[in-house]
Amino acid sequence: MSRLAGFELVKMNGLGNEIAILDLRGTAIEASPAEARAIDAAFHFDQLMVLHDPRSAGTGAFMRILNKDGSESAACGNGTRCVAWWLTQQTPQAELILETDAGRLACTRTGEARFAVDMGRPRFAWNEIPLAQDIADPMADTRRIRLSARPPGALQDASAVNMGNPHAIFFVTEIAEVDLATLGPLLEHDPLFPERANISIAEILARDHLRVKVWERGAGLTKACGSAACASLVAAARLGLAERSARISLPGGDLSITWRDDDRVMMEGPVEFEFAARLEPSLFETAPA
């Protein structure tokens, strides 16, 4: 039987980005990819935020992030806001720091169910995104890269950014004209991305307002993606298409993104609690222990 049986799963969403939280603090238990897939089959999430004991003093928890296909992600902005809300329900504090493989994330309550998260500094070098060494030019300007899997004439060159995860952003004149459900899987697995990539299409509505749609690696089309919203704003600002602070409209709602002068990217937006449920042993019958 899975050691996850009996634990509570908290289901939330950030702008419709479906988030599940599994608190394993105080234990040495690790959730396996197969167990994550079993939980998704029952409760349907985009990301599973698994909480472990803090690794550093002064932090609330270490977060391991699993996509619905069981693969790992280093960052999830909407999920981080959900975790921050849930943890601060247990204490009167309005600020906390969470740890991930991508670094520390400072979270601040800005409203009843609204949080701001310091998503860190964007990275642009080919080996930081990363891009495949045998394909990428180490001197290439990552503001504009050409994917080998790009269907001819369908999209212009992408802008590549690492915002905790690798992102490729295509700027288009009309999002509705792009079939991201079809192109997303192709572009996510482009040979240029050894760790795959999140694929976004972005439309500039004004210098302080972007419309964005996202195909997340390991999750597919999502209603919102916080790290992709950050990456899209940064990419647009690098290309001179937008200011360093903007409203990012995603299918699930709006996020406020600011790329500060100290190079850190701030994301602010709402979260919503849905329900909590116990993980029944039968859920894991087909998942290896």
Domain containing residue 93: 8-120+271-284
Among the residue ranges 94-98, 132-136, 199-203, the one predicted with the least confidence is: 132-136
In a domain, 2, yes or no: no
Phi, psi of 160 (to 5 degrees): -105, 135
Confidence label for 103 from pLDDT (cuts 50, 70 and 90): confident
In a domain, 125, yes or no: no
Based on the domain organization, do 25 and 110 belong to the same domain?
yes
- Give Cβ neighbours of residue 190 (< 8 Å, ≥ 6 apart): 147, 148, 149, 150, 168, 197
The per-residue pLDDT for 150 is 66
The per-residue pLDDT for 227 is 95
Average pLDDT over the chain reads 93
In a domain, 25, yes or no: yes
Query: Are 9 and 20 in contact, with CB atoms under 8 Å apart?
Result: yes
Residue 86 sits at the vertex; the CA angle it makes with 209 and 63, to the nearest 5 degrees, is 85
Residue 289 predicted with pLDDT over 50 = no
Based on the domain organization, do 114 and 163 belong to the same domain?
no
CATH number of 245's domain: 3.10.310.10
Query: Are 63 and 100 in contact, with CB atoms under 8 Å apart?
Result: yes
- Residues carrying an active site annotation: 76, 225
The 10s digit of each residue's pLDDT in 55-64 is 999 899 999 9
At 186 the three-state DSSP class reads helix
The 10s digit of each residue's pLDDT in 202-261 is 999 999 999 999 999 999 999 999 999 999 999 999 999 999 999 999 999 999 999 999
Based on the domain organization, do 180 and 238 belong to the same domain?
yes
Is the overall model pTM greater than 0.85, yes or no? yes
Based on the domain organization, do 254 and 172 belong to the same domain?
yes
The 10s digit of each residue's pLDDT in 108-125 is 999 989 999 999 999 999
Helices (H), 27-165: 33-43, 77-88
Total count of domains within the chain: 2
Helices (H), the chain: 33-43, 77-88, 180-188, 226-238
The per-residue pLDDT for 287 is 60
Based on the domain organization, do 95 and 188 belong to the same domain?
no
